[in-house]
Amino acid sequence: MGYVFDTSSFIVLGHYFPERFPSFWEKFDAAVSQGVVASVREVHRELSTHLARPHLADWVKKNRSIFSAPSSEEMAFVGQIFAVAHFQYLVGEKERLKGTPVADPFVVACASVRSACVVTEEAKKENAAKIPNVCEHFGITWTNLEGFMALEGWEF
């Protein structure tokens, strides 16, 4: 199974210091090199303003290739997401006014096109425009970082 990581899950990865969690990083790096873990360009853009941990900033820089630009198929799916009026709130007023990156619809679209699972720390919230709500609407699987590790059978 493939996974498409959201910004929130990368931020949580920042708490996994490589010196304290070397076996985690070995497995995660192997999953990345095997193409099991992917993400999108907009996540990379969001991370550029959210990376407080130097080790994670270095990791993101070294692994820039996993943050792909959207394909035409993915862009078409983003259009399907925004065709649902309620999901237009994925892009908040602040983001529209400031022109800041918004990765959520691109993460979901990438997962849909790749038949992958979204990894996000967002929680489903009734009647909200959150990644889990969008995923469930379109029949896309989603989990959080702990769920990812469980699905992969990782134990430490």
127-138 pLDDT tens trace: 899 999 999 999
Range of the domain at 115: 3-151
Q: Coil, strand, or helix at residue 91?
A: coil
Q: What is the pLDDT of residue 98?
A: 76
d(CA 50, CA 21): 21
pTM equals 0.94
CATH code of the domain containing 91: 3.40.50.1010
156 found inside a domain:
no
Separation of CA 111 from chain center: 9
Q: 22: part of which helix (H) or strand (E)?
A: helix 22-33
Instruction: Provide the domain count of the chain.
Output: 1
Is residue 119 situated within a structural domain? yes
Q: pLDDT confidence of 111, banded at 50, 70, 90?
A: very high
User: How far is the C-alpha of 152 from the C-alpha of 27, rounded, in Å?
Assistant: 10
- Which tens digits make up the pLDDT trace of 3-44? 999 999 999 999 999 999 999 999 999 999 999 999 999 999
Angle, vertex CA 92, rays to CA 88 and CA 95, nearest 5 = 125
The pLDDT score that the predictor gives to residue 154 is 97
